[in-house]
Amino acid sequence: MRTPARASTVTTVVVTLVCGLTLALAYLNKARCAGAPFDGLGRSLVFDRIKDSSVCYSDIQFLWIGREIDNHVFPYLTGGITDAGTLVGGTVEYPVLSGLLMWLGGIGSHTDAAFLMHSALILTPFALATAWMLGRLAGWPALLWSAGPPLVLYAFHNWELPVVAAATAAIFVVARFDRVPLRARGIAAAVLLAVGVCLKVYPGAFVLPLAAYVFTGGLGGRELPPTVSGRYDPKGAVAVAAAAVATTVAINLPFAVLGWRGWLASFEFQSDREADITTNSVWFWGVRPWFTSVDGPHSDYARFVSVASPLLIVAAFTLALWWGWRRYRREGTYPWLPVCAAMLCGFLLLHKVHSPQYTLWLIPFFVLLRVPWTLIGGYLLADLSMGVGVFRYFAALGAGSDASTEKLFVEFGVWGRAALLVVFFVLFLRSDRRGASPIATTETPPVAITEASSR
């Protein structure tokens, strides 16, 4: 008879091996767009011909040209952005650690096919590490990450795998190293989240619920340091926030000092990006038809989105944090992981860009939190409709063909995901952890809160 520890080890190994097989399929899928013959810049001639119609497009292959990766230019230091919004001189539109990974993938590459292959080799360990951590945390549900359609579609679509690994590692540290004092775990997790910020920004939002978890003493308030006399740990919460800020500054500072213009240009590019047909957001499909002035960065539509989107995201974050505090007062543990998941739902729904590969950000929360599998299946169906339909839609538009059928698939993807993100926002905030090792819930409220509620 297997011991629970042995069973967990076997499950984790299987989950990780399956992930490796899925990554091989993911690479083969994207590699259909790459290969000889090449043009003078090392671009596969087949890429522009079939990238949309065959659904093998990837940002990795696309950005081989236009960001000086093909010329092996170190990113940001000599870059900038033109008045027309074009990045030049090695600047890329992502935070600095993603830029470094792109540069590393370009070393030794002389064609987009080689760049795709080298990038896949760099990204693969991050996906495997995520599978291993999710397997340790949740067991068999981790197969949703390892064998799900999103990993096939998006593993090598962009540079998402490192940031997902960083965010998952932060959760893993808090959950699995429970013999380490909570403050130390919180600080370590904050450092990992800050690394995520320097990859793709979104994990920065998770620092706030993590700080609240440390502030309230972790599980049932029982993890407060011995030096704390009350039921809160403000010094621990400040240390968590300070660690995140310090790590983010330390990583970005060399680039900002040595190449201010190129470093700043990546933020300017994202700030100026319009919610157009390429962004797959509810803003383009739902809000844009309300405006008569819709073209250009200074149109009424663009100005409205630039204000409404961040304000609504902040409102969603605030609502999630407040809801988490109410649950803490009722149950005795601040539900930091459910709050993180809800905040991510708010961001995905309300941000002006909702690229298909962002689904990878959400999968670990589907694995770790108890939400209905039928709704998860519905979300993956809507995502598949978007992930395939949007490129078929672009192919039909480019060919001048009737695109009405493809448009239906895109609209189903946009509105199906949007509706379910609203549902998951609520369900995540009410959810508990899967598996035996709790992260953010407890059945026993701390004595101080129980006494206060009895008065």
Note the pLDDT tens digit of each residue in 250-297. 999 999 999 999 999 999 999 988 899 999 999 999 999 999 888 877
Q: 374 in helix, strand or coil?
A: helix
In a domain, 169, yes or no: no
pLDDT, residue 441, reads 42
pLDDT, residue 63, reads 96
Long-range contacts of 303-312 (CB under 8 A, 24+ apart): 305/274, 305/275, 305/352, 306/352, 309/275, 309/283, 309/350, 309/351, 309/352, 312/346, 312/350
Whether the per-residue pLDDT at 440 is higher than 80: the answer is no
In a domain, 422, yes or no: yes
**pLDDT band at residue 448 under the 50/70/90 scheme:** very low
Whether the per-residue pLDDT at 399 is higher than 90: the answer is yes
**pLDDT band at residue 452 under the 50/70/90 scheme:** very low
Q: 132 in helix, strand or coil?
A: helix
pLDDT, residue 6, reads 54
Longest dimension (CA), the chain: 78
User: Mean pLDDT throughout 225-243?
Assistant: 94
pLDDT, residue 269, reads 94
Number of domains in the chain: 2
Same domain? 307 vs 446: yes
pLDDT, residue 435, reads 64
User: Mean pLDDT throughout 71-89?
Assistant: 93
**pLDDT band at residue 443 under the 50/70/90 scheme:** very low
In a domain, 98, yes or no: no
pLDDT digits (tens, 9 = 90+) for 87-128: 999 999 999 999 999 999 999 999 999 999 999 999 999 999
Query: Could you list the residue range(s) of the whole structural domain that residue 10 is in?
Result: 1-64+109-159
**Closest C-alpha to 382, from 284, 283, 280, 286:** 280
pLDDT digits (tens, 9 = 90+) for 152-208: 999 999 999 999 999 999 999 999 998 999 999 999 999 999 999 999 999 999 999
Whether the per-residue pLDDT at 2 is higher than 80: the answer is no
Whether the per-residue pLDDT at 371 is higher than 50: the answer is yes
| Integer-rounded Cα radius of gyration of the chain | 23
Which of 127, 143, 159 is the last residue before a domain boundary?
Answer: 159
In a domain, 95, yes or no: no
Whether the per-residue pLDDT at 446 is higher than 90: the answer is no
User: Mean pLDDT throughout 317-344?
Assistant: 97
Show the tokens assigned to 253: 């500072």
Residue 205 Ramachandran class (φ > 0 left, ψ -120 to 50 alpha, else beta): alpha
Which of 127, 159, 191 is the last residue before a domain boundary?
Answer: 159
- Of how many residues is the chain composed? 455
- In single-letter form, the type of residue at position 144 comes to L
In a domain, 219, yes or no: no
Same domain? 155 vs 280: no
In a domain, 198, yes or no: no
In a domain, 75, yes or no: no
The CB density around residue 121, as the number of other CB atoms within 10 Å, is: 11
In a domain, 178, yes or no: no
- Cβ-count burial of 439 within 10 angstroms (0-12 exposed, 13-18 middle, 19+ buried)? buried
**pLDDT band at residue 451 under the 50/70/90 scheme:** very low
Q: 38 in helix, strand or coil?
A: strand
Q: Which residues contact 396 (CB under 8 A, 6 or more apart)?
A: 402, 403, 406
Same domain? 19 vs 155: yes
> How many Å apart are CA 438 and CA 323, to the nearest integer?
19
Which of 125, 143, 159 is the last residue before a domain boundary?
Answer: 159
Same domain? 154 vs 287: no
